[in-house]
């Protein structure tokens, strides 16, 4: 090329043509012209870029997981959960079977007077109480509900038993037993008997059965007027009254102390004498047990009134539902749950005021909520 006849424009044009031809040749002859060791690297780079793009999309969709967190497995969501619970129940059966045999034949493994009067002629306690024949006879117990996995009644010929096979876990269905237990308790009270409801500790399963009966009363299944308390006036020296008076006075003393923690710092407020343990009774309430039983009935009457108000409010809201839509149905379900939670809280407060260790597991609480409204 002659430098004299070549202009600047010609140089630029020539350079552009060379670049274009070079790019074309590289694209068409890459497989043959490039070193074979370099080709896999290019392919890997392209694949890596594609994977990075896909990973970026996944990262945007999935939240970043904290390495210090532990996944919580919901056992109720898969079939394998049943296997886990079956294993746990197997060991529970072994424990209950061994413990009931020991307590029935040899000695108690817990206090055999751990019971409370929770409603007129209804008692809740642990398993050891059910093996204390002198106590049961003294209280005048006629019926017993055993809410335990393994049934081995110590005095089968002395009392009328109802066995509810139940475990204190998150898959136990207690609701299916409520009709049976409610009728059994009702039958006992109509006959003028007294009933003990027990599980192993007297805290969850037995409390659930008793609470279901309270709901049964509150919803009109049992009329409290049937219970006659007048006979207790003439039985002030009766063995059952002596036992109940001792238990109720101790419970009243604990309630006063726990509700007034400053009493520990004030000797004048400490409860040390029986006259302070007892409420101030009128002449008509000279019998302490009669007073307590009447108070229980009055407390339940108050719960009945509260329930009726909530039930009326809930039914009025249902009547205003003109269009049945999923959103509206969900709204009413939430309101139903709120009403049930509010009412059950009041009922459990009553139960705990008479048996302080009462504490049904969350699964049982949800089942109790479902039968309220």
Question: Catalytic pick from 188, 199, 225, 357?
Answer: 199
User: CB under 8 Å to 218, separation ≥6 — which residues?
Assistant: 300, 303, 304, 307, 347
Is residue 199 part of the annotated active site? The answer reads yes
CB 169 within 8 A of CB 88: yes
115 by DSSP, 3-state: which? strand
Give the residue from 85, 123, 98, 153 showing the smallest Cα distance to 363. Answer: 85
Three-state SS for 372? coil
- Whole-angstrom distance, CA of residue 185 vs CA of residue 193: 9
- Starting from the edge strand earliest in sequence, which strands make up the sheet with 160-163, in order? 115-119, 122-125, 195-198, 143-146, 160-163
- Which residues have C-beta within 8 Å of that of residue 364, sequence separation ≥ 6? 172, 174, 204, 205, 208
How far apart CA 367 and CA 344 sit, in angstroms, is 11
Closest C-alpha among 41, 19, 116, 52 to residue 351:
116
Separation of alpha carbons 304 and 347, rounded Å? 10
Q: Residue for token digits 């006075």?
A: 249
Q: What is the DSSP letter of 315?
A: H
- Which residues are catalytically annotated? 199
């Amino acid at each position: 090329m002659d430098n004299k006849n070549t202009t600047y424009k010609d140089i630029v044009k020539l350079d552009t043509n060379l670049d274009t031809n070079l790019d074309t040749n590289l694209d068409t002859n890459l497989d043959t012209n490039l070193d074979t060791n370099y080709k896999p690297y290019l392919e890997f780079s392209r694949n890596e870029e594609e994977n990075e793009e896909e990973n970026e999309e996944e990262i945007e969709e999935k939240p970043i997981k904290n390495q210090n967190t532990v996944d919580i497995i919901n056992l109720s969501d898969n079939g394998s959960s049943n296997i886990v619970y079956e294993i746990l129940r197997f060991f529970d059966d072994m424990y209950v079977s061994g413990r009931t045999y020991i307590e029935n034949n040899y000695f108690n493994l817990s206090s055999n007077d751990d019971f409370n009067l929770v409603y007129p002629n209804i008692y809740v306690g642990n398993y050891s109480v059910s093996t204390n024949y002198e106590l049961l006879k003294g209280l005048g117990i006629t019926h017993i509900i055993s809410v335990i996995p393994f049934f081995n009644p110590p005095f089968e010929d002395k009392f009328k038993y109802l066995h509810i096979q139940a475990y204190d876990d998150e898959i136990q269905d207690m609701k299916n037993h409520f009709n049976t237990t409610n009728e059994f308790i009702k039958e006992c009270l109509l006959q003028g008997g007294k009933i003990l409801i027990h599980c192993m500790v007297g805290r969850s399963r037995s409390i659930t059965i008793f609470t279901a009966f309270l709901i049964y009363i509150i919803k009109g299944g049992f009329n409290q007027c049937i219970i006659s308390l007048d006979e207790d006036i003439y039985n002030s020296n009766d063995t059952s009254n002596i036992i109940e008076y001792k238990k109720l006075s101790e419970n009243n003393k604990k309630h006063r102390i726990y509700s007034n923690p400053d009493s520990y710092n004030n000797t004048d407020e400490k409860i040390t004498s029986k006259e302070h343990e007892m409420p101030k009774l009128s002449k008509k309430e000279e019998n302490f047990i009669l007073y307590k039983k009447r108070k229980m009935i009055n407390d339940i009457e108050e719960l009945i009134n509260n329930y009726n108000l909530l039930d009326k409010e809930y039914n009025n809201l249902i009547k205003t539902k003109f269009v049945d839509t999923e959103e509206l149905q969900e709204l009413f379900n939430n309101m139903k749950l709120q009403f049930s939670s509010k009412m059950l809280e009041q009922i459990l407060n009553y139960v705990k005021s008479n048996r302080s260790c009462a504490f049904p597991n969350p699964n049982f609480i949800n089942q109790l909520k479902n039968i309220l409204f």
